[in-house]
């Protein structure tokens, strides 16, 4: 079950992470990933305080991720000069809201700790269906809109000149990032999402001159890192999310060394 | 008229960039655009492309608004505006010139053929599978010109295509533009006044307003950043 969850997460992180790395919006993705804590905190508080049983912190994460993605995207497109400050503000505001609502929530919040640091070992069949459905949606959206996403990521002016709505596609791309964040929460947790979103794609980028091939390689690397990370966490008795992130980081360092040596 | 600007005014926040700008460019003309940094050259290009709207006045491109005329415009940006580390092949860059608005669009076989023909035209067909980031400055510019030409535009806008390229690459770009001269309206931002003197039909200087100069009226002072109205010569 955990290995399958890792594969779903790798498909997502490989595809969306490649756009994130090439468009250089890793920091934006970090802000979306951390702001989900607010949504998770609010939904958990509502669930426990008002006994709304259908509410799940993951639903709150999805709402918060999409809202912050749209807000950041709008600021990026309309008010570029203040972008970095606003990204940092959304990052910290989301976390602050989360911390406050967690403190107001009665009982011991082990559920939230799993979402914060990930616990792929707890993946249920329902989770797996959700993960693969969301990964399938991302794959389908990419197959349909790849030419547009590529144009918006590479040269916004050219895309605009050809009549493509840069605003629409950029916001859609950020919504895909938001969905990926929710998928990856399950695997590595909100705090370590950036590792899975950026590292496999960053390594893949040094292997391919084409974005589509880069995505393929990034999916492969993601699968290797999650599988290897899971096995290491089992033998070392380490937390799986952090072990997966560390495995990815170790390969990234190795790849940097390889690139450094290849510079004449 | 290919382009008609009528008394346009544009400012960023409180800073006026262009004031009372009126000019006309005829179909098939080759116009060199020069002026000081911050004088409004890039803003003027963005207005012509419809990326910006003038606060006052109007612009007509081929009898319609810049936004509606975009499909008839080819644009060659400065290479410094593009990410050289982006994983994309030369052919993919040129095919971007064939993009259309429909949401389900992906590149067709026809788009690939058109892109290859455009690369052939600029002498870069052998590089179609190369990574865009590995090209030299001159090769990059020729690929961007191919991307602008692939949709058979009526107007070609170039933003300093010879900046940061070596002398031989510069020469090949000029030869290419000379071949295109007369087949479409060409507007090229340049700082290379002496070289362009014999190539363009006329110059316009953008420095808050737009002043037109014939070849004979271009003064040596301009190369030193000393701009003045056309002098009457005996």
A–B CB contacts, 8 A cutoff, strictly below: 80
Give the whole-angstrom CA distance, residue A196 versus residue A175. 17
Residue at B233 is within a domain: no
At B106 the pLDDT is: 67
Residues 6+ apart with CB under 8 A from B111: B95, B98
* In the predicted structure, residue A247 carries a pLDDT above the cut 90: yes
Residues 6+ apart with CB under 8 A from A215: A14, A15, A18, A142, A201, A204
Q: Do A147 and B100 touch (CB under 8 A)?
A: no
* Distance in Å, alpha carbon of B15 to nearest chain A alpha carbon: 16
Residue at A73 is within a domain: yes
Please, what sign has the CA dihedral across residues B94, B98, B103, B104? negative
Residue at B190 is within a domain: yes
A153 touching B (Cβ < 8 Å): yes
Q: Which residues face B56 on adjacent strands?
A: B9
Residue at A111 is within a domain: yes
* In the predicted structure, residue B234 carries a pLDDT above the cut 50: no
| Residue B59, φ and ψ in degrees, nearest 5 | -125, 135
Domain that holds residue A42: 2-257
Burial label, B104 (beta-carbon count in 10 A; 0-12, 13-18, 19+): exposed
Find the Cα–Cα–Cα–Cα dihedral A148, A152, A157, A162, rounded to 10°: 10
At B228 the pLDDT is: 64
Spatial contact of B96 and A218, defined as CB atoms under 8 Å apart: no
Specify the higher pLDDT residue, A229 or B80: A229
Give the whole-angstrom CA distance, residue B188 versus residue B140. 17
Q: Which residue of B has its CA nearest to A22?
A: B86
At A16 the pLDDT is: 96
- Counting DSSP H helices and E strands in chain A, the numbers are 11, 0
A200-220: per-residue pLDDT in tens? 999 999 888 899 999 999 999
Residue B31 belongs to a domain with what CATH number? Answer: 3.40.50.300
* In the predicted structure, residue B229 carries a pLDDT above the cut 70: no
Please state the domain count of chain B.
1
Residues of B whose CB is below 8 A from A144 = 103-104
Spatial contact of A18 and A217, defined as CB atoms under 8 Å apart: no
Give chain A's end-to-end CA distance (angstroms, integer): 46
Give the whole-angstrom CA distance, residue A131 versus residue B39. 54
B44-60: per-residue pLDDT in tens? 999 999 999 999 999 99
Residue B99 gets which letter from DSSP? -
* Distance in Å, alpha carbon of B216 to nearest chain A alpha carbon: 35
At B172 the pLDDT is: 87
Residue at B16 is within a domain: yes
Residue B109 CA, chain-centre distance (Å), reads: 28
Residue at B74 is within a domain: yes
* In the predicted structure, residue A221 carries a pLDDT above the cut 90: yes
* In the predicted structure, residue A110 carries a pLDDT above the cut 70: yes
Task: For residue B227, name the pLDDT band (cuts at 50, 70, 90).
Answer: low
At B208 the pLDDT is: 85
Lowest mean pLDDT among B73-87, B178-192, B219-233: B219-233
Which stretches does DSSP call E strand in chain A? none
Give the whole-angstrom CA distance, residue B118 versus residue B48. 24
Interface of A with B in 179-208 (CB under 8 A): 205, 208
At A150 the pLDDT is: 95
Please state the domain count of chain A.
1
Spatial contact of A169 and A177, defined as CB atoms under 8 Å apart: no
What's the pTM value of the predicted model, to 2 decimals? Answer: 0.88
Task: For residue B105, name the pLDDT band (cuts at 50, 70, 90).
Answer: low
Interface of A with B in 204-223 (CB under 8 A): 205, 208-211, 213-214
Residue among B96, B131, B134 whose CB faces A151 most closely: B96
A145 touching B (Cβ < 8 Å): yes
For residue A188, give the 3-state DSSP assignment: helix
A147-191: per-residue pLDDT in tens? 999 999 999 999 999 989 999 999 999 999 999 998 888 778 887
* Distance in Å, alpha carbon of A81 to nearest chain B alpha carbon: 13
Residue at B229 is within a domain: no
Residue A177 CA, chain-centre distance (Å), reads: 6
A45-89: per-residue pLDDT in tens? 998 888 888 888 888 999 999 999 999 888 877 776 677 888 888
Q: Over chain B, what is the mean pLDDT?
A: 87
Q: Which residues face A256 on adjacent strands?
A: none
Alpha-carbon separation of residue A233 from A14, A60, A117 (angstroms): 22, 28, 14
* CB count in 10 Å sphere of residue B53: 14
Residue A7 belongs to a domain with what CATH number? Answer: 1.10.3470.10
Most confident segment among A120-124, A130-134, A256-260, B127-131: B127-131
Give the whole-angstrom CA distance, residue A247 versus residue A261. 21
* Distance in Å, alpha carbon of B99 to nearest chain A alpha carbon: 6
Residue at A263 is within a domain: no
* In the predicted structure, residue A240 carries a pLDDT above the cut 80: yes
Task: For residue B33, name the pLDDT band (cuts at 50, 70, 90).
Answer: very high
């Amino acid at each position: 079950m955990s290995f399958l969850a890792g594969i779903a997460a790798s498909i997502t992180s490989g595809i969306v992470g490649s756009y994130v790395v090439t468009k250089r919006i890793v920091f934006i993705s970090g802000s979306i990933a951390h702001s989900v804590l607010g949504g998770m905190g609010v939904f958990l508080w509502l669930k426990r305080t008002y006994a709304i049983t259908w509410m799940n912190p993951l639903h709150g994460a999805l709402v918060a991720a999409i809202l912050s993605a749209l807000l950041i995207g709008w600021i990026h497109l309309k008010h570029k000069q203040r972008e970095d400050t606003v990204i940092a503000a959304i990052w910290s505001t989301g976390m602050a809201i989360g911390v406050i609502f967690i403190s107001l929530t009665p009982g011991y919040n082990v559920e939230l700790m799993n979402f914060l640091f990930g616990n792929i070992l707890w993946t249920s069949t329902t989770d797996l269906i959700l993960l693969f459905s969301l990964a399938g949606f991302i794959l389908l959206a990419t197959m349909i809109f790849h030419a547009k996403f590529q144009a918006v990521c590479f040269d916004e002016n050219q895309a605009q000149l050809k009549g493509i709505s840069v605003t629409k596609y950029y916001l859609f791309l950020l919504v895909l990032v938001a969905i990926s964040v929710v998928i990856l929460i399950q695997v590595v947790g909100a705090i370590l999402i950036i590792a899975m979103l950026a590292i496999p794609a960053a390594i893949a980028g040094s292997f391919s001159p084409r974005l589509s091939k880069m995505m393929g390689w990034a999916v492969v690397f993601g699968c290797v890192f999650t599988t290897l990370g899971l096995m290491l966490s089992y033998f070392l008795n380490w937390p799986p999310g952090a072990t997966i992130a560390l495995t990815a980081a170790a390969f990234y360092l190795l790849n940097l060394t390889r690139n450094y040596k290849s510079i004449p | 008229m290919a382009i008609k600007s009528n008394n346009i005014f544009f400012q960023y926040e409180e800073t006026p960039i262009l004031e009372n700008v009126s000019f006309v460019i005829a179909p098939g003309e080759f116009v060199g655009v020069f002026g000081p940094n911050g004088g409004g050259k890039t803003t003027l290009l963005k207005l012509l492309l419809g990326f910006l709207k003038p606060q006052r006045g109007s612009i007509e491109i081929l009898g319609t608004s810049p936004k509606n005329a975009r499909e008839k415009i080819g644009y060659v940006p400065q290479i410094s505006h593009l990410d050289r580390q982006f994983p994309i092949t030369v052919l993919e860059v040129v095919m971007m010139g064939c993009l259309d608005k429909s949401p389900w669009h992906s590149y067709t076989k026809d788009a690939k053929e058109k892109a290859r023909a455009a690369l052939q035209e600029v002498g870069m067909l052998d590089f179609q599978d190369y990574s865009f980031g590995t090209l030299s400055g001159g090769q990059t510019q020729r690929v961007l010109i191919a991307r602008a030409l692939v949709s058979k535009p009526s107007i070609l806008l170039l933003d300093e295509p010879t900046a940061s390229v070596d002398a031989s690459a510069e020469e090949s770009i000029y030869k290419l533009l000379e071949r295109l001269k007369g087949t479409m309206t060409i507007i090229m931002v340049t700082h290379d006044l002496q070289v362009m003197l014999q190539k363009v039909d006329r110059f316009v200087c953008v420095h808050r307003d737009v002043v037109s100069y014939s070849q004979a009226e271009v003064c040596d002072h301009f190369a030193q950043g000393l701009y003045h109205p056309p002098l009457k010569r005996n």
